[in-house]
Chains A and B, each alone.
Chain A
Amino acid sequence: MLFSPTPLHIPDGFLNLVISLLFWALTMAMVGLAISKTNKTLGERQIPLMGVMAAFIFAAQMLNFPVAGGTSGHFLGGALAAIVLGPWAGILTMTAVVAVQGLLFQDGGLLVMGANIFNMGILTAAIGFGLYRAVRNRPRALRLGGIGVAAWLSTIAAALITSLQLWLSGTSRLEIVIPAMLGVHALIGFGEAVITVAAVAFIEQTRPDLLRAENSANGKWGWAVAGMGISLLVVLISPLASAKPDGLERIAEDLGFINAGRSAPYEILPDYTVPLLGETALSTILAGAIGALFVLGILILVGRRMSSRA
């Protein structure tokens, strides 16, 4: 009943270990930052609020509308959460939503949860709040338009990065997954945009104080810059990737991470062997262990820094 089976909740097994752990590290860094920021700017009262808001996003995903042929549009909520709660609280809220979807309903895996949180919580918050921050004090039409673009782009961005992760994990071919994912989500994103705009417009009319209260503490222009930067990246990559996937593959080749995409899982160490030991089973196992330890080391370092700051 509460399932929103968009192909964005990646299950376990579809991403390789390196990509999974890399995105766990990124997500932990951002969530740690979000915790220390919300601790600083918001009071203790904020925790129950974020909890109930996370339940709100969850419940709001139930509210769908018939589109055509038995399908219905519904929404992810990442952009809306960041707009109405501010970016850091939005990130924490969406993290809780994705975590519960994965833990309780198996909608998305556990080892890949870092990637799922990043795609649906952090990226959407950055784009959603970033663009909203840029148009917040503009005339109403421009503001609502900006929010719509932000919501649409956040869906596209999530689909784009999901495709890239699948490709880098060697699970999908780029020329198939990109057009499929972006095509579907261009439509889903339209629903997301209309719902988000209507919801924000409704809140602006009935309780404008709520929007002001949540955003006054997060008035940094950095978000606008980050949001617009990421949006620009998405706008540049998406058409290139969907029209000419080999174009992206070419860039990847030039940048040198094509091998990771070609024969993932493990290409950090060449062919996954330790050079001195040659191509034996022992060498392969050792190489795997070194790779895992390396990522674990990054994770622990990031975790340390976060906990000392928080």
Chain B
Amino acid sequence: MHVDAFNQYHAGESLIHHLDARAKVVVAISFIFSNALLPDGSWVTFTLAWMFLLLANELSGLGLGFTLKRSFVALPFALVAGSAIFSPLGEPLAVWDLGFMTLIPTDAGVRRFFSVLIRSWLSVQMAILLVATTPFPDLIHALEHLRAPRVLTTIIAFLYRYLFILTDEARRLLRARESRSANLSGRKHGGTLWWRAKVTGNMVGQLFIRSYERSDRIYKAMLSRGYAGHLRTLNPHIMRRFDWLILILSLTFLLLVQFLGWIQ
């Protein structure tokens, strides 16, 4: 597996790609924050927020529909919000008698349900755009500059660095299990559920020991190459005037959206 197997970065030379990672992180988080703060049913301002997102998509050179195509990861969770439709607060819209229980959808409930879906859909897209236009190591450095604890960012950097190696290791274990689990069609195979779970548990234990021993070797190799407690980067990470400009423009727009959302 390649070292970049898990990178979600889509290389490009656009305005958004060249923006300082800190500015991008702050705008993305503010955007998500702003969505969470908008009141239920403020469709106009949700649309404005969507326009902002589309503009960012377009400026990134990845295409208007780039994040849209990838935005359905959170969809299974929509089921959970489905029950909001039956909120007891609003005016009842209908009465559904299912026999064992009676469901009464209300207008406030329906409004809330769609608002939650839209908020989540917009926020996920902004997060997707953030990682698609920022290399992950830059993202981690941005978090460090934004005062995330260094211990944590270093752990995350290591996680990212060794994820593909351990995924390979996990795959080897899966392949080994596969190659030892012959089965004939029509015949009972595979042991009991209990046994299968136990085998998987042993594989997890095996993976743990291999990872642990590997981390030991990694640490010694790093020490011998001059590791002094934190990871270094060649990227200077300087906020240019242009980064500040984009940052301030974006935040002003989001404030405006908030204002419009609340005076409705």
Chain A interface residues toward B at CB < 8 A: 2-3, 5, 7, 10-17, 20, 31-32, 35, 38-39, 44-45, 47-56, 58-60, 62-68, 73, 75, 80, 84, 92-93, 95-97, 99-100, 102-107, 109-111, 166, 170-173, 176-177, 180-181, 191, 194-203, 206-207, 210, 262-263, 265, 281, 284-285, 288, 292, 303, 306-307, 310
B70-127 residues with Cβ-Cβ distance < 8 A to A are 70, 73-74, 76-77, 79-81, 83-84, 86-89, 112, 116-124, 127
Query: Would B211 and A111 count as touching, CB distance under 8 A?
Result: no
Could you say which residues of chain B place their CB within 8 Å of the CB of A201? Answer: 201, 205
Asked if B76 and A47 sit within 8 Å, CB to CB, the answer is: no
A68 to B196, alpha carbons, bound, how many Å? 12
What is the CB-to-nearest-CB distance from A114 to chain B, in angstroms, rounded to a whole number?
12
Q: Is B149 touching A32 in the complex (CB atoms < 8 A)?
A: yes
Q: B172-194: which residues lie under 8 A (CB-CB) from chain A?
A: 173-174, 190, 193-194
A177 CA / B84 CA spacing, docked (Å): 10
Measured in the bound complex, the distance between the Cα atoms of B203 and A93 in whole Å is 20
Please give the distance in Å from B23's CB to the nearest CB on chain A. Answer: 16
In which size bucket is the chain B interface? 35 or more
A107 and B73 in contact, given A194-B197, A206-B205, A207-B209 (Cβ under 8 angstroms): yes
Q: Give CA–CA (A170, B200) in the complex, Å.
A: 38
Q: How far apart are the CA atoms of A17 and B36 in the complex, in Å?
A: 6
Asked if B120 and A12 make an inter-chain contact with CB atoms under 8 angstroms apart, the answer reads yes
Whether A177 contacts B37 in the complex (CB less than 8 A), given A56-B208, A202-B205, comes out as no
Assess whether B74 is in contact with A106, with CB atoms less than 8 Å apart: yes
Complex partner residue of B131 from A62, A103, A176, A262, CB under 8 angstroms = A103
In the complex the two chains form, is B77's CB within 8 Å of A11's CB?
yes
B149 to chain A, nearest CB (A): 5
Q: Residue B6 at the A interface, CB < 8 A?
A: yes
Q: Do B159 and A51 touch (CB < 8 A)?
A: yes
* Residue B244 at the chain A interface, CB threshold 8 Å: no
For A306, list chain B residues within 8 Å (CB). Answer: 149
A-B pairs with beta carbons under 8 Å apart, 18 shown: A13-B120, A47-B155, A49-B212, A50-B155, A52-B212, A55-B162, A60-B208, A63-B170, A63-B173, A93-B155, A111-B29, A166-B80, A166-B81, A171-B81, A171-B84, A177-B80, A210-B209, A285-B263
Residues of B at under 8 Å CB distance from A?
6, 8, 28-29, 32-33, 35-37, 70, 73-74, 76-77, 79-81, 83-84, 86-89, 112, 116-124, 127-128, 131, 136, 139, 147, 149, 151-152, 154-163, 165-167, 169-171, 173-174, 190, 193-194, 196-209, 211-212, 214-216, 218-219, 222, 229, 258-259, 262-263
CB distance from B20 to the nearest CB of A (A): 17
B215, A49: Cβ atoms closer than 8 Å: yes
- Whether the pair A13, B36 counts as a contact (CB closer than 8 A) is yes
How many pairs of A and B residues are in contact by the CB < 8 Å rule?
Answer: 290
Contact residue among B149, B174, B193, B262 (Cβ-Cβ distance under 8 Å from A281)? B262
CA–CA, A191 to B200, complex, Å? 10
Contact across chains for B209 and A14 when beta carbons are under 8 A apart: no
Distance, CA A32 to CA B214, complexed state (A): 28
Name the contact of B222 in the complex, choosing from A31, A48, A95, A265 (C-beta under 8 A).
A48
In the complex, what residue of chain B is closest to A107 when comparing beta carbons? Answer: B73
> Which of chain B's residues has its CB closest to A8's CB?
B77
Contact A109 B88 (CB under 8 A): no
Residues of A within 8 Å of B169, CB to CB, are 59
Verify B194–A59 contact, CB threshold 8 A.
no
Decide: A59 and B197 in contact? CB cutoff 8 A. no
A146: shortest Cβ distance to chain B, in Å?
16
A96 and B259 alpha carbons, distance in the complex (Å): 36
